[in-house]
Structure 1
Amino acid sequence: MRPAPTSLTPRESSGFPFTAVVGMQDLQLALILAAISPAIGGVLIRGEKGTAKSTAVRALTEVLPPVDVVPGCRFSCDPDHPDHVCPDGPHSGGRDVRPARLVELPVGATEDRVLGSLHLEKALAEGVTAYEPGLLAVAHRGLLYVDEVNLLHDHLVDVLLDAAAMGRATVERDGVSVTHPARFVLIGTMNPEEGELRPQLLDRFGLTVDVVASRDPAVRVEVMRARLAYEADPAGFTARYDGAQRELAERIVKARDLLSEVILTDAALRQIAEICASFDVDGMRADLVTARTALAHAAWSGRTVVEVDDVRAAAKLALPHRKRRNPFDAPGLDDEQLEAAIDNSTPPPDPDDDPDGPGGGGNPSDPDGEPDSPEGGGADPSDPDGGDSADPADADPADADAGDPGRDSEAAAATAGPAPAGEVVGSSEPYKARLLRVQAAGAGVAGRRSRAITDAGRVVGDRPRIGRESGRPHLLATIRSAAPHQRERRNGGPGLTVHTSDVRLAVREGREGNLVLFCVDASGSMGARKRMGEVKTAIVSLLLDAYQRRDSVGLVTFAGPAATVVLPPTGSVETAVRRLESLPTGGRTPLAEGLLQAAEVLRIAAIRDPRRRPLLVLVTDGRATHGENAFAHARRAAGWLAQQGIAAVVVDCEPHRGVRLGLAAELAADLSAEYLDLGEVAAGQLVRAVTERRAA
């Protein structure tokens, strides 16, 4: 029997009250359930900007009960169950109480700051090896919050995946070998417009909530009234919610106590399994998370037996991001399908029913009875994996099924005749792109495409620091550089003396991401149904590869009198696909305007992100029909782009029937670009051409 929780102690509020958040019931419920049962695995909050995502997360700590810790332990060991290999152990006993912690992990944090590293001051001054804990140690038995989690660098994602899988953080670097517990409730917020989350990390979030601003004027008025009142008098506004805050905190404590007594019957387990199967989820983690969430929801509702309402609430939060879907489909759950799955599944028995009747799973009213569920009365909080032994971090995203290039859609199989002006032609099934790696051609931004010298990745060497240049020092190389000079520097004193000239910076090799800007001819000459369908299919195939490799993408189209930036450079490949699929055709061909508009987009992108190398993919038949001397103007624009050093690929969409003018080939020569005929763009050929061009 576990000890009674420490009683709540009042503490000064440090932000907007959790109970004052308006119109975010699903978000608040998900956070509360994760706090009741940390074994659920955390919460991912998706939503547009300005929807109080961060406000609600930061306010949660005010209603969480304090944590009992071993005095002086930097790793927050539980006094009743201290970690036997804690770096600060062995512990002599005692008990301290501290408030629940919310540790924020910045997206730009270094790996050393997250995992911890050698205590540099002690190493240099005292010559001893001492470990300085990182953010994972501070977050143990608390909340770890990552704002804009979808922008987190891959090397930090790998660190989080390891900690989530093992429940421990392990440091093997700079002469330090340390392992310590790192169990926390992982909470992430993200704006889907900035790009999707890496699938392996997405699966580690137990629950997900989509947050949108209410369109009800009455709700929006309440939101404004509450926020303005808080800004006018934070202390007075917070004081008005003291009673509601304390009541909520006490209810969370009671739910935690009741959790171990909640019964999950065989019938409820079967219902959860049937619901998960009906949504075609991958693996078994969805079933386990749904079961744990149902248990927590029952405890939150004050029940000792899981009921249909608990299963329904759990499924709505645990399944949206786990159901099988196409790469560019938005996550979500069909309420009608959920209700149908609940209706078709075996309902949990009423506690007053005969336990031997149909669907019975034991007598829940028997205080000595034990459920037949392998989970027993609750989930094992020591199992962060949920029983899943596979490590998703080892999976290569290029191995994901991206479709069969041999299958044609109805759009591609339709007549090759011209489509009416303004008609939208869809793409066929995207190709499966091979994993292609290219050698680095200089420094780049961290990504998953090509090898490059980046700020993140494995250390492959060191170099001297130039002037006042900042960067991550290579500790051992710096010590080696300073070592030969110690006799003349010490003058009989202890310790290591390091001068600025001794500092060596680490050279790290990682993966590079690129900006792939599509410049697409949407004029009337591209209006043949089959040809435009093939063009869109090729582009969608490359977008799928970009989605898997974490590239940025943009889309410029030209038709009629001008060019249009359909999608500025972004990490949201799903948005690019939607804009491309809805792209109509018709009008004249302002080719020069399209090239100049693409150049302007790349110029602005270079200012915002100068280290991300661009690649221009021009999809056209080479015709230019807008203005006088249109083609000559286009060639001059192409030559100017080539002078700017912009790598490019030209995909020639000129039909093979009749006389071919070869204008796209001339344009490719002016651009110093790779030239491809649309007939050659099959399966992964466009992807291969783009990737090879990146190495140039």
Structure 2
Amino acid sequence: MTPFPFTAVVGQDDLRLALLLNAVSPAVGGVLVRGEKGTAKSTAVRALSALLPEVAVVPGCRFSCDPGAADPGCPDGPHEAGPGTERAARMVELPVGAAEDRLVGALDIERALAEGVKAFEPGLLADAHRGILYVDEVNLLHDHLVDLLLDAAAMGASYVEREGVSVRHASKFLLVGTMNPEEGELRPQLLDRFGLTVEVAASREPDQRVEVVRRRLAYDDDPDGFAARWAGEEAAVRRRVVAARELLPQVRLGDAALRQIAATCAAFEVDGMRADIVMARTATALAAWAGRTDVLAEDVRQAALLALPHRRRRNPFDAPGLDEDKLDETLERSAGQDGEGDDDPDGPGGGGRPAPESGPEGGGDGAAPPEAGEGGEPQQAGAGAGERSPVGAAEPFRTRVLSVPGIGEGAAGRRSRARTEHGRTTGARRPRGALTKLHLAATVRAAAPHQRARGRSGPGLVIRRDDLRQADREGREGNLVLFVVDASGSMAARQRMGAVKGAVLSLLLDAYQRRDKVGLVTFRGSGADVALPPTSSVDAAAARLESLPTGGRTPLAAGLLKAHEVLRVERLRDPARRALVVVVTDGRATGGPEPVALAGRAARLFAAGKVASVVVDCESGPVRLGLAGQLAGELAGTAVTLDELRADSIAGLVRDVQGTSRRAA
């Protein structure tokens, strides 16, 4: 099907500019597009390939070698010098659920063992060489695929190694990813690999929204005819990309611009030196795109807005973005310290953005303050009977891991033990379906007794399909950490609620690092609410927790029942993911049925669902009733006081959780 034309995308000026800069200079390092669903992220990315110049390749080479500089280690080589053939640049899409073999390629294990032949079937990394590798919903990509992408991006090559048989091929690609932040954040290592980042949002201007709908309907009715109407604009942009590429080597990056780049990266405390290099390449590409041979201060400013927001996050709860006032002050100060002044004829902020006029989406780097209505409701102290305004969280602290006992089979992560495709080898078995991880020793043992019957005459083993053995491996999985938080009046004391929120934030940070899903159930007044359904976005959970109001009665039973329902639904969606329930309460129930009566039922459900539980006892004062401890006993879990949630005490808590679960089993 004919792709939607790039030039027909309405608005999204920053997104289009970032993609075009990478078309001009692939060394910029790719683009990460962050934004809500339905904002043309994927449409714009898929349309970019039509604007890229054609590439010359060696005829018949499956790895797209450049005839002018062929890879000497190419598996299809060596290549003879020749003119090559021209073809369109490829855009290869990596599905989130792809297997490792689909990404890096696959070896024919049987031929490799029996004949010593490196029979290799290239994967997506080979297809994307000298083109675009696009990952939609890149934040949902499995960790082992992320590791492979990081290695390929860092080395410019892909390595496939299986039990001593190794294949290497060049893999230099433009990495473009799209993601919805509500579904979770990226690992910092992969986040840093994207040269630029862009925040996109749907326009709030009715006229612009009307034009989006009009163009989309016209495209759906007649894709070829719609593309033909935009062919002139597409050809003009393609010519401009080619011209900017030719001009790029002539662009001069003066000392004044370099000093501004260094000062900006230092002022925003970004880690490492990659940000400086990316900013320099981006500013150079901006000058070439504008048809200039000198980098101006306006190029440096725009480069900072594109290259720094995702690199200045100190933890997952920080919203990406850049303080533009601070940026302008830094550029002005660094320009004033330079004696040349020839790189800044218009002043550090005078040029503004060299991109086309920004639409309503252009300023979406930071999070907008809550407005009236649902977002503003928690800020009103008198919004409900006995309700108090939200209390800020205490400073988070480092925790030790809380793990679910036993061995699971859930999605790869870093919390609990599990059978995974990656990790240490614990045994061997016959493969079910395609062989992915060969256990060489077990395969040799299975084939050795049959060599005489098979007529072996040479040094190699005669291998049959029945001889192959799959390696069993043990690694770590991610879990569902469901927080059930008491927000009633008995918890409303500011010092206590702040400490509770600080403890939960600490555990949320740990969940982010261990690739867990998190959920948040709160109870107060007359019932319980799912403040956040299970998600991979811990920053969304932190935001909901921060704005959590308190007050009213304590319907503890309603909180437990709501937790049961969340776990039941989530188990239907993801049956392999095990859960850890953290109940934060003082144990007092002043509304609804008696919670202890329901705790036995909860314990049975938790046991059937392989759920571990911890009750954080928030009771304070000289007289303590120990109700939270009783609740933990009924849930076959462990009770721990709020003061014991510090790192030194968590280690004992983990041992208690595991010991209690073993006794219950």
1:664 — aligned with what? 628
Offset of residue 89 of structure 1: 2.1
- 1:226 matches 2:191: no
Instruction: Say if 1:104 and 1:687 are closer, same or farther in 2 by CA, change over 3 A.
Output: farther
Report what 2:355 is aligned to.
none
2:356 corresponding residue in structure 1 = none
380, 387, 410: which one pairs with 1:444? 410
Go from structure 1 to structure 2 and tell me whether the alpha carbon gap of 1:506 and 1:692 turns closer, same or farther (over 3 Å shift). farther
TM-superposition CA deviations, 1:540-597 (whole Å, max 9, x none): 1111111111111100011111110000111100011111111111111111111111
Q: List aligned pairs for 1:2-81, cutoff 5 A.
A: 14-81=2-69
Report the TM-score, using the length of structure 1 for normalisation. Answer: 0.83
The match for 2:320 is: 331
Structure-1 residue corresponding to 2:529: 564
- Cα pair distance change 1:463/1:498, threshold 3 Å: same
Residue of structure 2 in register with 1:612 after alignment: 577
**1:422 and 2:388 matched:** yes
Stretch moving more, 435-444 or 69-78: 435-444
Q: Secondary structure at the match of 1:345?
A: helix
CA change 1:44–1:332 in 2 (3 A) is: same
CA distance in 1, matches of 2:274, 2:627: 55
**1:172 aligned partner, one-letter code:** E
Determine helix, strand or coil for the equivalent of 1:260: helix
2:534 equivalent to 1:545:
no
Provide the secondary structure at the position in 1 that maps to 2:44: helix
Task: Please give the secondary structure, in 2, of the residue aligned with 1:452.
Answer: strand
1:187 and 2:176 are equivalent in the alignment: yes
- C-alpha distance in 2, partners of 1:527/1:521? 9
1:82 alignment partner, SS class:
coil
For the residues of structure 1 that align with 2:179 and 2:656, how far apart are their CA atoms? 33
Structure 1 portions without partners, runs of 5+:
1-12, 350-356, 363-418
Q: 1:458 to 1:212 in 2, by over 3 A?
A: farther
- Deviation of the 1:202 alpha carbon: 0.5
Structure 2 Cα separation of the partners of residues 79 and 595 of structure 1:
66
Greater CA drift, 158-167 or 432-441:
432-441
User: Which structure 2 residues correspond to residues 161-560 of structure 1 after superposition, within 5 A?
Assistant: 161-346=150-335, 358-359=340-341, 421-434=387-400, 441-457=407-423, 459-465=425-431, 472=436, 474=438, 476=440, 477=442, 481-482=446-447, 484-485=449-450, 498=464, 502=467, 504-560=469-525
Report the CA distance between 1:108 and its aligned residue.
Answer: 1.9
Q: Which residue of 2 aligns with 1:650?
A: 615
Q: CA deviation at 1:313?
A: 1.6
Q: Per the alignment, in what secondary structure is the counterpart of residue 397 of structure 2?
A: coil
Q: CA deviation at 1:73?
A: 1.9
Deviation at 1:453, TM superposition (A): 1.0
Q: For the structure 1 residues 133 and 291, does the alpha-carbon distance in structure 2 shift closer, same or farther, using more than 3 Å as the test?
A: same
For residues 531 and 116 of structure 2, the distance between their equivalents in structure 1, rounded to whole angstroms, comes to 59
- The structure 1 residue matched to 2:646, chosen from 664, 670, 682, is 682
> Offset of 1:420 from its aligned partner?
6.3
Distance 1:672 1:592, change over 3 A: same
Question: Does structure 2 retain, via aligned residues, the 8 Å contact 1:267–1:348?
Answer: no
Distance of 1:358 and 1:307 partners within structure 2: 13
Query: In the TM superposition, what whole-angstrom CA distance separates every residue of 1:637-671 from its partner, at most 9, and x where no partner exists?
Result: 444445534210011111132x3211111111110
Paired residue for 2:597? 633
Question: Residue 9 of structure 1 corresponds to which residue in structure 2?
Answer: none
**What amino acid is aligned across from residue 269 of structure 1 in structure 2?**
L
Aligned-CA RMSD value: 2.9
Partner of 2:131: 142
Pair 1:600–1:678, CA change in 2 (3 A): same
Residue 541 of structure 1 aligns to which amino acid in structure 2?
A: S
SS of the aligned residue for 1:235 comes to: helix
Pick one of 523, 527, 539 that aligns with 1:574.
539
Q: Is the 8 A contact 2:52 2:238 kept in 1?
A: yes
Contact 1:591 1:634 in 2 (8 A): no
SS at match of 1:346: helix
Give the number of equivalent residue pairs: 617
Displacement of 1:247 in angstroms is 1.2
**Rounded Cα–Cα distance in structure 2 between residues aligned with 1:116 and 1:587:** 59
SS in 2 for 1:213: coil
SS in 2 for 1:294: helix
1:125 deviates by: 8.8
Letter in 1 for 2:634: D
Give the aligned residue type for 2:208. V
Identity of aligned residues (%): 62
Which range moves more in the overlay, 184-193 or 130-139?
130-139
Structure 1 residues 18 and 496, CA, compared in 2 at 3 Å: closer, same or farther?
A: farther
Post-superposition Cα deviations, 1:379-422, rounded to whole Å, max 9, x if no partner, equal xxxxxxxxxxxxxxxxxxxxxxxxxxxxxxxxxxxxxxxx9632
Q: What is the TM-score when the length of structure 2 is the normalising length?
A: 0.87
1:216 is matched by which residue type in structure 2? E
The residue that corresponds to 2:557 in the other structure is 592
Corresponding position of 1:673: 637
Task: Tell me the CA shift for residue 441 of structure 1.
Answer: 2.3
- What is the distance in 2 between the residues matched to 1:459 and 1:73? 36
Distance 1:448 1:624 in 2: 36
Shift of 1:14: 3.2
Query: Which residue is equivalent to 2:380?
Result: none
Distance across 2 between alignment mates of 1:450 and 1:662: 30
State the match for 2:361 in structure 1.
Answer: none
Measured at CA, do residues 485 and 326 of structure 1 come closer, stay the same or move farther in structure 2, by a change above 3 Å? Answer: closer
Q: 1:169 to 1:341 in 2, by over 3 A?
A: same
1:434 is displaced (CA, Å) by: 4.2
Q: In the alignment, residue 505 of structure 1 is paired with which amino acid?
A: Q
The code of the aligned residue for 2:389 comes to: E
- Indicate conservation of the 8 Å contact 2:313/2:319, yes or no: no
Q: Deviations over 1:164-203 (max 9, x none)?
A: 1111222222442222221111111111011100001101
Deviation at 1:47, TM superposition (A): 0.8
Deviation of 1:97 after TM superposition, in Å, equals 1.2
Amino acid at match of 1:463: R
Q: For each residue in 1:206-231, what CA deviation from the matched residue of structure 2 results, as whole angstroms up to 9, or x when unmatched?
A: 00001111111111111111110000
Structure 1 residues 684 and 483, CA, compared in 2 at 3 Å: closer, same or farther? same
Separation in 1 of the partners of 2:533 and 2:527? 16
Amino acid at match of 2:419: I
What is the CA–CA distance in structure 2 between the aligned matches of 1:601 and 1:78, rounded to whole Å?
A: 54
SS in structure 2 of the partner of residue 589 of structure 1: coil
Task: Give 1:438 shift.
Answer: 8.2
Which region of structure 1 is more displaced relative to structure 2, 227-236 or 110-119? Answer: 110-119
Shift, 1:55, TM fit: 1.1
The corresponding residue for 1:602 is: 567
Q: Which amino acid aligns with 2:329?
A: A
From the superposition, tell whether residues 471 and 656 of structure 1 become closer, same or farther in structure 2 (CA, over 3 Å). Answer: farther
Q: Which amino acid aligns with 1:57?
A: V
Structure 1 residue 333 displacement after superposition: 1.4
Please state how far the C-alpha of 1:340 moved relative to its aligned partner.
Answer: 2.5
